[in-house]
């Protein structure tokens, strides 16, 4: 079995053994497969891409083929301990609605996204070019990324939705970043929940 992507490995470390997990935009199901094998977790993936859904099935991961923006009405409130959206939230049209839906179906949520505030992106813009990186490897005309954000932007959105940050982590090319994360991190990872809940 191949190693998890660095952001997925970090997220897996935040998930308690035996948790019920929902993975939105689960790709090939690598995270859910890892959690099932190593932590005894149960859950579902939601994925729209045909090839990725097939890869999930081959791994034995329970997957539902659906656009996450169509809503999560098939799941009850607080049905999961944790819902994950890794490197997918920036490709949503109705980002705030997706975050609200996530916080309805799980006690806690985890989101990772590319940090548009990274210094290389700023430098690229100053040179008159749209940024391209390992987290955003697309040309401006064919990118699936609709809403690019910085960590501060994302925290402001969470606050406006009544969602409270429980933990945050930052990676630069897969390695942890501490100081000046807004400039140095290529990826931001947040764990959050509704305000009324306790840690």
Query: Residue 96: which CATH number?
Result: 3.40.50.150
Show the tokens assigned to 177.
Answer: 């970043």
Show the tokens assigned to 137.
Answer: 């490897």
- Provide the domain count of the chain: 1
The reply to whether 171 falls in a domain is: yes
Report CA-CA distances (Å) from 117 to 2, 4, 70, 185: 30, 25, 29, 8
The 3-state secondary structure of the chain reads CCCCCHHHHHHHHCCCCCCEEEEECCCCCHHHHHHHHHHCCEEEEEECCHHHHHHHHHHCCCEEECCHHHCCCCCCCCCEEEEEEECCHHHCCCHHHHHHHHHHHEEEEEEEEEECCCHHHHHHHHCCCCCCCCCCCCCCCCCCCCCCECHHHHHHHHHHCCEEEEEEEEEECCEECCCCHHHHCCEEEEEEEECCCCC
The reply to whether 88 falls in a domain is: yes
Place of tokens 């191949």: 2
Show the tokens assigned to 55.
Answer: 């890869």
Tens of pLDDT, residues 119-142: 565 656 556 755 566 665 555 455
The reply to whether 199 falls in a domain is: no
The reply to whether 92 falls in a domain is: yes
The reply to whether 1 falls in a domain is: no
pTM across the whole model: 0.85
Tens of pLDDT, residues 102-124: 999 999 999 999 887 655 656 56
The reply to whether 10 falls in a domain is: yes
Specify the pLDDT at position 183: 63
Closest residue by Cα to residue 53 from 70, 32, 73: 32
Closest residue by Cα to residue 63 from 87, 36, 81, 39: 36
User: For the residues 78-90, what does the mean pLDDT come to?
Assistant: 91
> Percentage of residues in the chain with pLDDT exceeding 70?
81
Task: Using the predicted structure, report yes or no on whether residue 145 has a pLDDT greater than 50.
Answer: no
Task: Using the predicted structure, report yes or no on whether residue 80 has a pLDDT greater than 60.
Answer: yes
The reply to whether 44 falls in a domain is: yes
The reply to whether 65 falls in a domain is: yes
Show the tokens assigned to 42.
Answer: 């149960």
Domain range holding 19? 6-193
């Amino acid at each position: 079995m191949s190693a998890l992507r660095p952001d997925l490995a970090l997220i897996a470390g935040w998930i308690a053994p035996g948790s019920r997990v929902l993975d939105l935009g689960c790709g090939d199901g690598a995270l859910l497969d890892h959690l099932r094998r190593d932590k005894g977790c149960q859950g579902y993936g939601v994925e729209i891409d045909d090839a990725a859904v097939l890869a999930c099935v081959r791994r034995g991961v329970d997957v539902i083929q659906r656009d996450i923006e169509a809503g999560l009405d098939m799941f009850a409130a607080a049905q999961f301990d944790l819902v994950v959206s890794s490197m997918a939230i920036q490709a949503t049209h109705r980002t705030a609605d997706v975050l609200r839906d996530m916080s309805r179906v799980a006690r806690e949520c985890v989101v990772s996204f590319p940090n548009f505030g990274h210094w290389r992106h700023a430098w690229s813009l100053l040179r008159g070019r749209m940024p391209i990186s390992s987290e955003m490897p697309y040309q401006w005309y064919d990118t699936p990324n609709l809403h690019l954000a910085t960590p501060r932007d994302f925290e402001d959105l969470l606050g406006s939705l009544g969602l409270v940050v429980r933990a945050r982590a930052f990676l630069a090319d897969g390695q942890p970043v501490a100081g000046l994360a807004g400039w140095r991190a290529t990826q931001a990872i947040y764990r959050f929940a509704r305000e009324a809940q306790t840690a």
